Each structure stands twice: as C-alpha cells, then as structure tokens.
Amino acid sequence: MSEKLEKSAQQYEQITEELLRAAAPYKTASNHFRNKEVPRGAAHAYAEWGHINKAEILLKAESVVHAENSTP
C-alpha cells in the first residue's frame, strides 16, 4: 500500500473513532434531560459536539488531499 493510501486509511480510522466517541454519550445526555438534570445533559451534549467537530475537521482535511490528487 502506498504511503498516501495508508495515511488516508489512518485518517478515516481517526474520523471513525471521533464519531464513535460522540455517539454513545448522547444517550447519557438524553437520560440527564429526562431526569431534569439540564446542566449535566447540556454539558454532555456540548462536549460530544466537540468530537463531531473534530471529525468534521479531519474529514475536510482528507477531502482537500483527495481534491489535490484528483484529475479533472
């Protein structure tokens, strides 16, 4: 496998990890809201949004690499 492809594979694995980190704790946030623990629910939801934002940054970076290597 070429070095570029390996780097892309690693980038997608990192994106996957960030999204997995975000997914489960949203369930925790929903439970907090159901229990009227608004600050705790909001804190979990906001923190997990950070994982989604990080995944988006990584995905955007990968799209730039793809664009630089594409042929019109």
Q: Is the pLDDT of residue 1 over 90?
A: no
Instruction: Name the region of 47 (left: φ>0; alpha: ψ -120 to 50; beta: rest).
Output: alpha
What's the confidence (pLDDT) of residue 4?
A: 87
Q: Which residue has the higher pLDDT, 44 or 71?
A: 44
Quote the CA–CA distance of 66 and 69 in Å, as a whole number.
Answer: 5
What's the confidence (pLDDT) of residue 22?
A: 85
Residue range 18-35, pLDDT digits in tens: 999 888 888 899 999 999
Residue range 33-64, pLDDT digits in tens: 999 999 999 999 998 899 999 999 999 999 99
What token pair was written down for 51?
């994982």
DSSP class per residue in 11-72: HHHHHHHHHHHHHHHHHHHHHHHHTT-HHHHHHHHHHHHHHHHHHHHHHHHHHHHHHHT---
